[in-house]
Structure 1
Amino acid sequence: MPDSPTSPPLFLRAVRSLAAVKPRSELVVRDLDAPPRLAPHTWATSVEADIGHRGDGTDDLDEPDTSGRLILLYDPDGQDAWHGEFRLVCFVQARLEPEQLGDEMLPQVGWSWLTEALESSGAGFTALTGTVTQTASVRFGDGGGGPREDDVELRASWSPTESDADLSRHAVAFAALVASAAGLPPLGVPSLHRTTG
């Protein structure tokens, strides 16, 4: 648990700075159990988006169009590969629109969602690495035999360079990444998507 008395103050400061960020209303944020073996101290959250999401906090996104997980790793002794004590790991999965299928530029576009989000938020980072993968799936069994669904998956990790452990800009960047992957318009720009109800 992040608030354990044994958690180092620097880790707690980083967690609180990440958790304090409130993303745009179309995104649903939930706490997650962090994988315990990746580092001595870990924390995780999820951010989900759905084109049909009302944004009022009352709907449940059982199968969101876009979902993401952000994990904070902290090792007080540091790790050479991290270039520091902290490492952020993210995974984002987004459903593709039919017109995006077969787009050879999709991996570059997907990666640019992350790099542009980090840069526009002013987050300091180093040792950025990751992959962008296009996948296809069809459900089988009870209720299966459904249509093929194509997704894009982005996995990435980077080391924050903020010396004061205020990682709020990284939380802002992650929320912006999920919003871009979901196809949400920039804040202040009305959506052209029509919802029926």
Structure 2
Amino acid sequence: MTAATPGARMTEERPTDAPAAVRPAIFVEAVDNLGATRIRPEVVVEPLRPPQRLAPWSWALSADIIDPDGGDLASGRLVLLHDPDGHDAWDGVLRLVAYASAELDEQMGVDPMLPTVGWSWLTDALVERGAAHRAAGGTVTQTTSTRFGDLAGPATTISLEMRASWTADSADLGPHLLAFVDLLCTAAGLPPEGVTILSSS
């Protein structure tokens, strides 16, 4: 699917001896809100098996932005973790874990401030989307790769990888998903949603 449509149910992980009927209400509400969030059509969202043993309850999706030639402009994963007993490091019961990666143009990629700018793409998106959160943390890695010999592709590629997590203040997670998508779109070089770049021809 190209977007999370209303009522869509993503993959979730729960204790093997727990029937669906006993899923915590806040977890059910959080997953339902994420599944009902409409995503801009440039982003392909698909269910993803969540990691196990990180929390009693979890849910996950993958998100990719593909260029017209089929190449990846940006990709990511978003995981929801829920611990009904709370978690000291989270400062809450709902934790979102995000991974994002993108290849950047050379001019942007050589900027020594890129990691700081990349982190601001996430934090600014969370604020702009009204995604109430706390205890955010993560890492941003800037990598340069150079091809030699007969390997196909550009001689040099510069990529950005981000690993981040934050605690949601409530089960209203739609704004958090939209902020994550905004991060991917910014990294991919897409204009803001609803903005069209006019051709110079």
Alpha carbons of structure 1 residues 149 and 184: separation in structure 2 relative to 1, 3 Å: same
Q: Specify the alignment match of 1:2 in structure 2.
A: 12
> For residues 116 and 53 of structure 2, what CA distance do their matches in structure 1 show?
31
Q: Specify the alignment match of 1:57 in structure 2.
A: none
List alignment gaps of at least 5 residues for structure 2.
1-10, 14-18
* Alpha-carbon distance, 1:69 to partner: 0.7
Among 21, 28, 40, the alignment partner of 2:37 is 21
Alpha carbons of structure 1 residues 52 and 145: separation in structure 2 relative to 1, 3 Å: closer
Among 65, 72, 76, the alignment partner of 1:68 is 76
Q: Specify the alignment match of 2:132 in structure 1.
A: 124
Alpha carbons of structure 1 residues 33 and 9: separation in structure 2 relative to 1, 3 Å: same
Alpha carbons of structure 1 residues 92 and 131: separation in structure 2 relative to 1, 3 Å: same
Q: Specify the alignment match of 1:190 in structure 2.
A: 196
List alignment gaps of at least 5 residues for structure 1.
54-60
> For residues 109 and 51 of structure 1, what CA distance do their matches in structure 2 show?
23
Q: TM-score, normalised by structure 1?
A: 0.84
> For residues 84 and 95 of structure 2, what CA distance do their matches in structure 1 show?
11
Q: Is the 8 Å Cα contact of residues 45 and 64 (structure 2) preserved in structure 1?
A: yes
Q: Specify the alignment match of 2:63 in structure 1.
A: 47
Q: Is the 8 Å Cα contact of residues 138 and 145 (structure 1) preserved in structure 2?
A: no
Q: TM-score, normalised by structure 2?
A: 0.82
Within 5 Å, give how 1:10-159 maps onto structure 2.
Answer: 10-52=26-68, 63-137=71-145, 144=151, 146=153, 147-159=155-167
SS in 2 for 1:29: strand
> For residues 113 and 50 of structure 2, what CA distance do their matches in structure 1 show?
33
Q: How many residue pairs are counted as aligned between the two chains?
A: 183
> For residues 34 and 137 of structure 1, what CA distance do their matches in structure 2 show?
30
Q: Is the 8 Å Cα contact of residues 51 and 182 (structure 1) preserved in structure 2?
A: no
Q: Report the residue type matching 1:70 in the other structure.
A: L
Q: Could you list the per-position Cα deviations for residues 107-161 of structure 1 after superposition, in whole angstroms to 9, with x for gaps in the alignment?
A: 1110111011100100100001011111234579xx8464332210111100001
Q: Report the residue type matching 1:126 in the other structure.
A: R
Alpha carbons of structure 1 residues 123 and 193: separation in structure 2 relative to 1, 3 Å: farther
Q: Is the 8 Å Cα contact of residues 74 and 85 (structure 1) preserved in structure 2?
A: yes
Alpha carbons of structure 1 residues 139 and 17: separation in structure 2 relative to 1, 3 Å: farther
SS in 2 for 1:65: strand
* Alpha-carbon distance, 1:22 to partner: 1.5
Q: Report the residue type matching 1:21 in the other structure.
A: T
> For residues 135 and 31 of structure 1, what CA distance do their matches in structure 2 show?
28
Q: Specify the alignment match of 2:187 in structure 1.
A: 181
Q: Is the 8 Å Cα contact of residues 83 and 93 (structure 2) preserved in structure 1?
A: yes
Q: Specify the alignment match of 2:176 in structure 1.
A: 170
SS in 1 for 2:30: helix
**Cα RMSD (Å) of the superposition?**
2.3
